[in-house]
Each structure stands twice: as structure tokens, then as C-alpha cells.
Structure 1
């Protein structure tokens, strides 16, 4: 069976050099791998090393030890079916850097209360659906106009829009699936050019938040259900999916698909997701799929 190890450095850092690649290659060879060609996806930034003779688990352990203390990200996988046909992305702390319910809470004077519930939920200490109901209840009375005001706080994480646009350019379908709120996901959908977005709906009455959210809540299992719904519509398989997220409510989705990526993730996701981006940005997801930098959408 043929495998590929992909090493990724921070964009424009030129930190990934031939000596590092040679070191990894030598390590793999010394432990029984048969090396094939190397392919520089971007000079100084990303490189593929093709090999056989070791399992994914064995190669990952060797590379982890070799890169200990470095700021590189890497992935090891079979070469077959590497480029995915569907991208499913969490939004908050994944595509954008903010948690919008926390931003709303700060405006309402309940920031500390809600932030603590959010953190416990993302670490898997609380049921997501119940924690969302509790947090939204604390937002009762916030004027609807404040949703618009805080929208300007949303900032894309580096490479997020290029990830989405590049996968669409090459024929993939892209969906933003969030445990957050449709008011915000619709804006990020348009900004990044996702095909669609799915999220929760805040209930509003007399121009103010009612403190409730429309049921059923889109949480951990619902994210997986949304992914399964999309693959049925597209007539593809779970192995054809790249999913990315950072928190506990992403785990079911990340564990089910062909390429489940933890993005600067909480410990529970770092311990579980097969693929990780810890040091770099969303461009790593493209390199993991074998995209050359010249393939990227502008």
C-alpha cells in the first residue's frame, strides 16, 4: 500500500527546508519504509514524501518524534482518494477566531457566565444542546440591532477563504455547519463563498432576543447528521469528506469522515481527531489533500 506524509510550515516562513525533509526521509527508511519520490507543494512551506512499507500509525509516531519541539504540522495517509469532494466546516474558533455568543454576552454583562459555559461545552464537559439553551437564556432582552453591531467583530482565520474557494474551484461542495447562529453564519457563508450554511436560529420578539433558540438544536450529533445528509445529496461517501472543527461538538463529525481535522483544537479534539492543524493555518488542509500552491484560488 502506498502512503504520503505531508509536512507543512507557516505560510511565507521558508522554515521547511531540504534538510528537514531529508531527516524525516532517513528516519522512515531506517525503520523499514521504502521511499519513493518527493513533491514540493510550495517551496519552503509544504512537501509530500511518498513511501510504502510502514503503517500510518508507525509513520506518524516516527515523524512526531522527529519533529518534537518544532512548529511544523504534518499528516500521513493513503494516497488513494486523497482529494475530497465535500468540505464541512465548523465556524466559531475554526473559520473565524471569535465565539459570537461570548461577544453578545460581553455586551449584556454576562460575559464571564457564558464564557465559562462555552468553554466547558467545547471541552466536552457539558451536553452541547443543554449548554446552548442555558447560554441563550442569559441573552434575553438584547436588542436585535446589536447582532448587526457585533458582526463587524468577526475575523476570518488565516487561509479560511482560500480553503473554501480553492476546493470549490476544483469541484468540491462546501458547507458551513455551526452550533452558532444563522445570523452570523450567513455572513461568513457569503464572505468565504461556501455553497451553504446550517446553524441555529435565535428567536426574536418585539425587536429583542427572547432568550430561546429554535428547536431542534444543531449540536454534536446534528453536525454528523448534516454531513450524512450532504453526502446523500451529493451521492458520495464519508471517505470523500474533509471536515474541520475545534471543539467537542465537532467530534462525531470529525471521527466519521475520511479527513477529520482538528484546527487549533481543544485537548479532547487533539486527542481524538486523526488529522491536526496546530501551528499553521487552513492552507494546511489543502496541502494535506495534495493541492499545489499554484492550484490555490486567488
Structure 2
């Protein structure tokens, strides 16, 4: 007679040699040409013959791993799921079972598996690496979020306040920025509540000056002085974001944001869904496009989950907590700054700024 497990509503899955066919660290070692030494330590650790912490540190030491090597591996080594695992995970979800990935492997490797299986980032437990004084001098492109990052406020919330519908819109903004609500649905819901048209938008722009985060203009200028291309990548509205770009002397072709479609009478008829920023994974798509176009590593800086989820393909993500601190973003950020001065010092320490 079988035991009844119907009350079990949480499952923790190992990743290396379970969810995936291979051992992540062994694959990195193979990629770097140091397979034998690393694989021997892996076997001893998996068989309980060697302390896990010592085994991990020993393997990382042998590989002499740095951020560039790790990024190169991720770019060139696709995930190899164990056949049938995707179906297993989907069946767990269909039966109301929360799925967690709990791994002794490296967070960047495990998190991309989670993305592939649509497992929330907060359900991922793995080892995070700290790269001290990593040289970022080869990063020549930075993508900056705009709302609550380059600017002090959230553009759509400010329009809502201007139109007298603050509370409903602000609640949706928070859910979207915390990764609790699909970006496209959140944007459409807020535009619907505001009943936005071209006249209302123009009135807002005429009466609401840009409020840059103090220090951001200096930051952008320092990027330019150091030969770093600056892009504004926002889930906000193009007319709002483009005027910020003009203020900071950022070319219009370096602006990615959501475009609205109005008919001849100025009535809002829909979003331009060809804009990647209308999608939850839009910022990651833009970063990937820039990687292929510019042939340089890309850095992402922002306050929200869509910014965090753009790394990878971004080589580095820096959480921006100057105007608002989002706990989920802070938790998953390798770097998190609560002042522009702190951010500039971080960039100087890593040789991106002189």
C-alpha cells in the first residue's frame, strides 16, 4: 500500500546531475581545460568523502575563475536538462506543488536553469561568488533604467497623480517592479485606469519637469568621458524617457521605451508591441541585441526585477537603491548601491571609470 503524499506541496530539486545532465563546475573546468583535477574533487565531495565548502573552494582555486571566464562559459555552454525534467516540473506546478532549486553549484548557472523552467528567482538557492576588484575596463556599454533610477520618480505614477488616479496605478507599479505581475499586463492596466490620451499626455509633459536623481548627470558624463556608450532602457513611456535622454545628451537611437499608438483624434488605441520593453524579458532581449551590435560586454543598472533579470546576458548587474529599495532585487544583486557616490566609487574600484 502506497503512502499518501498529497499533502506535500513543496519539492526541492538538486540541479547538478539531477535537473541537469551534467555537473556545472565540471563543465566549467572542461571549458577552461582543467577537467581532471576538478572532476576528482567533485567525485569525492558527492560521495561524502570531502567537506563541501573545502571542495568548492578548491575547485574554484584550480580554475582561477573570474567574471570574464564565467561569462564566456555561460555564453558558449547551453543548459542540458535531463530528459523528462521539464515535464516533471510542469506536473508539479499543475498539482499545486511549489518547486525550488537547491544546489551546491554556482548561482549564475542554477538561475539560468530556473529561468528555462519558469521557476521564480526567489525559489533558487545556490552559491554566490564575490569578485573583488574585478576589472570592468573592457565594459564599454551601460544600460540605465530610468524610473526610480535615472529619475527620482516613476513616470506612470506621476502621470496618474497628475490625473488624480494615484492609488490604483501605484499599487500595480509596485507589483510589476517587484516581479509579481507581468510587465505587459501591468502597463496596459495602468494605461486603462488613466484613460490616457494625447492631450492628457501633452499637458503632463508641459507641466511636469524632469526630476533627475541627484548625481546622475555627473555619472552619465563620467561614463561618456571613459568611452562608455550610455543607453536608457525603460519600461516607461517613450515621450517621458526621450526627454530625459535629451537632458543628458544621450542620442535618441540609444533610447528604448514603450511607444503608444494614438489615432487621428488623439485617442489611445494600444501599445506598440514591437518594442521589446513591453515584454517582461524585454530588457534582456535589448542587452542581447547590444552585445551582438557593439561586440562589448554590457552592464545593467536599475532598481527593478526586469533590470536584474537582464543579467545574464549582461555581464554585470548593479542594483540601484537610491530612490527605492526593493528587497527581492537587493537579495539577488551581486552589487547594490544606495547612493550615486557609492556607485561611482564601485565603478572606479573596478576600473570602469578612471
| TM-score, normalization by structure 1 | 0.66
8 Å Cα contact 2:162-2:204 kept in structure 1: no
- Please identify which structure carries the higher strand content: 1
Q: Please state whether the residue corresponding to 2:261 is helix, strand or coil.
A: strand
Higher relative contact order (CA 8 A, sep 6+): 1
Deviations 1:137-190 (A, max 9, x none): 2222542422422441x2111221111111111111110000001101111112
Aligned CA RMSD, in angstroms, stands at 2.8
What is the 5 A alignment of 1:217-236? 217=275, 218=277, 219-236=279-296
Select the residue among 134, 146, 162 that pairs with 2:203: 146
Select the residue among 242, 249, 256 that pairs with 1:193: 249
Q: Please state whether the residue corresponding to 2:348 is helix, strand or coil.
A: coil
- Please identify which structure carries the higher helix content: 2
What is the 5 A alignment of 1:116-135? 116-135=171-190
Instruction: Give 1:256 deviation, angstroms.
Output: 3.7
Q: Is the aligned partner of 1:268 residue 2:322?
A: no
8 Å Cα contact 2:133-2:349 kept in structure 1: no
Q: Please state whether the residue corresponding to 1:220 is helix, strand or coil.
A: coil
| TM-score, normalization by structure 2 | 0.56
Shifted more, 222-231 versus 190-199: the winner is: 190-199
Deviations 1:100-132 (A, max 9, x none): 111111232321111111111111111111111
8 Å Cα contact 1:140-1:208 kept in structure 2: no
8 Å Cα contact 1:223-1:253 kept in structure 2: yes
Select the residue among 206, 209, 212 that pairs with 2:270: 212
- Is the alpha carbon distance of 1:273 and 1:185 closer, same or farther for their aligned partners in structure 2, counting shifts above 3 Å? same
Aligned-partner Cα distance in 1 for 2:188–2:307? 18
8 Å Cα contact 1:220-1:251 kept in structure 2: no
Q: Please state whether the residue corresponding to 1:92 is helix, strand or coil.
A: helix
Select the residue among 150, 172, 176 that pairs with 2:232: 176
Q: Is the aligned partner of 1:258 residue 2:318?
A: no
Partner of 2:304: 247
Partner of 2:126: none
Partner of 1:94: 149
Instruction: Give 1:216 deviation, angstroms.
Output: 3.5
Q: Which has the larger radius of gyration?
A: 2
8 Å Cα contact 1:105-1:111 kept in structure 2: yes
Select the residue among 169, 175, 196 that pairs with 1:114: 169
Q: Is the aligned partner of 1:284 residue 2:338?
A: no
- Is the alpha carbon distance of 1:284 and 1:220 closer, same or farther for their aligned partners in structure 2, counting shifts above 3 Å? farther
